[in-house]
Chain A
Amino acid sequence: GENVEQHPSTLSVQEGDSAVIKCTYSDSASNYFPWYKQELGKRPQLIIDIRSNVGEKKDQRIAVTLNKTAKHFSLHITETQPEDSAVYFCAARGVTGGGNKLTFGTGTQLKVEL
């Protein structure tokens, strides 16, 4: 099945700086890569996603890039703000063994310091 690795596990940045979180996946046939933000005690919420036919997608201060050859994708947050502090999870939708199964990374605890 799909295996997703995520780095770093913790990330601390100063307000206004950029943050980058990286993930790799194992199933070369995976075709959908969402990112979820989970604030303490709350449900994971989708913040951005990208499909395998696109190399980059941007939504205001958030962008995601995908390198299918290398099987890795990254989340970029620019001009970070305190409210960006949360745990971020990447995920990959594997095709092998049955479609529509999202496999999540282990999460990155982002802390934006004033």
Chain B
Amino acid sequence: EAEVAQSPRYKITEKSQAVAFWCDPISGHATLYWYRQILGQGPELLVQFQDESVVDDSQLPKDRFSAERLKGVDSTLKIQPAELGDSAMYLCASSYRLSGANVLTFGAGSRLTVL
């Protein structure tokens, strides 16, 4: 079964440092999403790509977060500088279109701890 690959699985950093997460979606999935999941809460969309274009980044804290998907395949999410409140699971997902709805498949996530 095809999977969404993410790395690193775990990242511990000190505040004010830079961190980066990588995601490789399922082959052929044109839509890629980055979600943030704080412990005990549901995933919150940070940014959505269609191919290499951003289609929704309304919830992305653009003063410190950036995301890119230069060739429309894999993607990188960066945080600089990291803050204590950024501690969370960062989930990447990709989707195909099925009967008019995008079905999301999530990666295993990257758990960030900011000290």
Contact = CB atoms under 8 A, between A and B. Distances in A.
Given A51-B100, A93-B102, A101 B107 contact: no
Interface in B85-115: 91, 95, 99-109
Contacts of A51: 99-101
Given A43-B107, A44-B91, A45-B106, A106 B99 contact: no
Interface in A78-114: 89, 91, 93, 97-98, 100-107
A89 B43 contact: yes
Given A98-B55, A100-B31, A46 B41 contact: no
A2 B6 CA distance: 28
B42 A43 contact: no
B28 interface: no
Contacts, number: 59
- Report, as a range, how many residues of chain A touch the other chain: 20 to 34
A46 B42 contact: no
Nearest to B92: A43
A44 B106 CA distance: 6
Given A98-B55, A101-B56, A46 B103 contact: yes
A42 B43 contact: no
Contacts of A91: 42
- Report, as a range, how many residues of chain B touch the other chain: 20 to 34
B43 A98 contact: no
A105 B42 contact: yes
A18 interface: no
A31 B48 contact: no
Given A51-B99, A93-B102, A98-B56, A42 B42 contact: no
Contacts of B106: 36, 43-45
A75 B107 CA distance: 24
Interface of A: 1, 4, 6, 31-32, 34, 36, 42-46, 49, 51, 89, 91, 93, 97-98, 100-107
13 contacts: A32-B101, A34-B104, A42-B108, A44-B106, A46-B103, A89-B42, A91-B42, A97-B58, A100-B48, A102-B45, A103-B45, A104-B42, A107-B40
